[in-house]
């Protein structure tokens, strides 16, 4: 039920029963980076890359796309529809809401007229309305989404209260206030994080965000921060310069300052954009872990840098009152197997459950800090194997052949050094250690990471 300022929620219990006195754990889906590719039948429309097969004859080796797409292409409708059917069939009664964190359309859609892009987005919106007929879907703008905020606000008006639509139409951001419950939801327009330091629209979002968080802190409420692009650097980059730092340094620093200031009420941060399965730990000025962010992998299998992914979907288990994240389950589709299935079916299966996969009983800043430490330890390199396998959604069967010591340390630096300068220093420390010790060069893949962690931790 919607009102002008708040959204009211039923209390969720086991098997969807309404409980009067006990607030049981419920669920929410996180879907991101669908990148709907509307030219499934015509590979000449921009789906294929010249280096598809990696060889000099690649241009002569282009093949027909499978029913559910291809690793070199964005998502066709059949893949998206299969994802919707999967979400509808799992935990549907206990799903409270859906976070939809942007980049709904293919990269190739940038060439299309705005009206065409809006129609494609309407198709996706209609599918999600059908899939989640009893739930609210909270969309965040991605950099590949149409910029017609007023039109999008009208398109998504079923899900957004009046006040949310007002700020969305103004700047692409909004908040969801939940009546009688502690957890509130803030959806950011991270496209503004790429603006110049003195951009008026970006400054207005920062002003609004401080006001909102100050109010929640004063009222003893908690908050999720939700957006498309995450702060920090791409963990899959190569070399020492941040190849994928999507915020400007100014906005990245402001974001970290804000998270540190309101860390006591920020109980979750959720992003997409990188198409990868990873996380970030944010530390306070004293070096203590104070907050975390989880990055969900994409529905599209295509990635513009460093290989592709299998398509992924994620469902979180959480305390609906406080927002404490209790666990999550990651689903995936083996795209090659789906395309070769004689029955023509796409079988989305559980890739892993976070708590059992990593042996962690709670998702907190400290527990994720400890997990990051294990990724760098000589004695715990199975943790990195698990992490790296999940990072590309089971795209690679042998992490140790696909990610050497420098690669592993880059992942660690991206996870624990969200500030750009600290990230660069973390990478340089690894390079210095390699240059100064020939024994390190001959060490097992993850021995370097363990040593560098000891000498570079701040």
Which band of pLDDT confidence, cut at 50, 70 and 90, is reported for residue 111?
confident
- Is the predicted pLDDT of residue 211 greater than 70, yes or no? yes
Q: What is the pLDDT of residues 265-286, one digit of tens each?
A: 999 999 999 999 999 999 999 9
Residue in the block written with tokens 């950099």:
143
322 or 39: which leads in pLDDT: 322
Mapping DSSP to helix (H, G, I), strand (E, B) and coil, where does residue 5 land?
Answer: coil
Give the per-residue pLDDT at 341. Answer: 85
Q: Which of 276, 299, 302 is nearest to 65 (CA)?
A: 302
Residue in the structure block whose two tokens are 């090659």: 336
Identify the CA nearest to 345 among candidates 2, 109, 81. Answer: 81
Please check the confidence at residue 64 and state whether its pLDDT lies above 50.
yes
Taking only the tens place, the pLDDT of each residue in 333-368 is: 999 999 998 788 899 999 999 999 999 999 999 999
pLDDT > 90: percent of the chain: 64
Average pLDDT, the chain: 84
Specify whether the CB–CB gap between 208 and 167 falls below 8 A.
yes
pLDDT reported for residue 303: 75
Q: Residue 72 — pLDDT band, cuts 50, 70, 90?
A: confident
Mean of pLDDT values over 117-143:
96
Provide the pLDDT for residue 6.
60
Structure tokens given for 355 = 């708590």
pLDDT digits (tens, 9 = 90+) for 5-16: 566 665 565 444
HEC per residue, 56-105? CCHHHCCCCCECCECCCCCECHHHHHHHHHHHHHCCCCCEEEEEECCCCE
Average pLDDT estimate for 175-180: 92
- Reduced to 3 states (helix: H, G, I; strand: E, B; else coil), residue 2 is strand
- The residues, ordered by sequence, that sit 6+ positions from 209 with a Cβ below 8 Å of its Cβ are 173, 186, 188, 258
Residue 342: its pLDDT value, please? 78
Other Cβ atoms less than 10 A from the Cβ of 346: the count is: 23
Checking if the pLDDT of 21 tops 70, the result is no
pLDDT at 51: 42
The distance from CA 89 to its chain's CA centroid, rounded to whole angstroms, is: 22
Domains of the chain and CATH, by start? 6-361 (3.60.21.10), 375-458 (no CATH)
Residue 435 makes CB contacts below 8 A (sequence gap 6+) with: none
Side-chain half-sphere of 312: how many Cα atoms within 13 Å? 33
Sorting pLDDT into bands at 50, 70 and 90, what band is 397?
Answer: low
């Amino acid at each position: 039920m919607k009102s002008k300022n708040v959204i009211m929620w039923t209390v969720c219990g086991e098997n969807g029963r309404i409980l009067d006195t006990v607030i049981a754990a419920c669920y929410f889906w996180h879907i991101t980076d669908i990148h709907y590719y509307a030219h499934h039948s015509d590979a000449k429309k921009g789906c294929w890359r010249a280096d598809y097969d990696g060889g000099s004859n690649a241009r002569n080796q282009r093949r027909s796309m499978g029913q559910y797409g291809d690793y070199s292409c964005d998502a066709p409708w059949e893949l998206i529809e299969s994802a919707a059917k999967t979400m509808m069939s799992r935990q549907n009664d206990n799903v409270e809401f859906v976070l939809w964190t942007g980049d709904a359309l293919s990269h190739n859609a940038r060439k299309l007229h705005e009206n065409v892009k809006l129609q494609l987005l309407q198709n996706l919106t209609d599918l999600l309305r059908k899939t989640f007929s009893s739930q609210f879907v909270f969309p965040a703008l991605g950099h590949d989404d149409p910029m017609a905020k007023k039109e999008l606000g009208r398109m998504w008006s079923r899900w957004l209260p009046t006040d949310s639509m007002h700020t969305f139409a103004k700047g692409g951001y909004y908040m969801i206030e939940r009546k009688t419950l502690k957890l509130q939801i803030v959806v950011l327009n991270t496209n503004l994080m790429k603006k110049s330091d003195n951009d008026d629209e970006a400054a207005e979002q920062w002003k609004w965000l401080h006001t909102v968080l100050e109010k929640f802190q004063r009222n003893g409420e908690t908050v999720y921060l939700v957006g498309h692009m995450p702060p920090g650097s791409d963990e899959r980059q190569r070399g020492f310069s941040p190849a994928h730092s999507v915020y400007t340094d100014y906005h990245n620093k402001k974001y970290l300052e804000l998270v540190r200031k309101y860390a006591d009420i920020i109980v979750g941060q959720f992003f997409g954009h990188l198409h990868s399965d990873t996380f970030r730990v944010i530390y306070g000025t004293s070096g203590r872990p104070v907050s975390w962010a989880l990055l969900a992998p994409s529905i599209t299998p295509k990635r513009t840098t460093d290989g592709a992914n299998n398509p992924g979907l994620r469902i979180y288990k959480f305390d609906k009152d406080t927002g404490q994240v209790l666990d999550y389950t990651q689903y995936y589709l083996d795209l090659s197997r789906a395309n070769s299935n004689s029955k023509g079916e796409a079988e989305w299966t559980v890739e892993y459950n976070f708590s059992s996969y990593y042996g962690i009983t709670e998702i907190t800043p400290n527990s994720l800090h400890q997990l990051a430490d294990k990724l760098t330890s000589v004695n715990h390199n199975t943790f990195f194997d698990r992490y790296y396998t999940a990072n590309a959604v089971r795209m690679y069967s042998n992490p140790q052949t696909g990610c050497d010591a420098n690669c592993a340390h880059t992942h660690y630096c991206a996870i624990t050094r969200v500030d750009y300068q600290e990230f660069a220093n973390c990478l340089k420390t690894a390079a210095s250690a390699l240059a100064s010790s020939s024994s390190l060069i001959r060490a097992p893949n993850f021995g370097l990471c363990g040593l560098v962690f000891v000498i570079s931790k701040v």
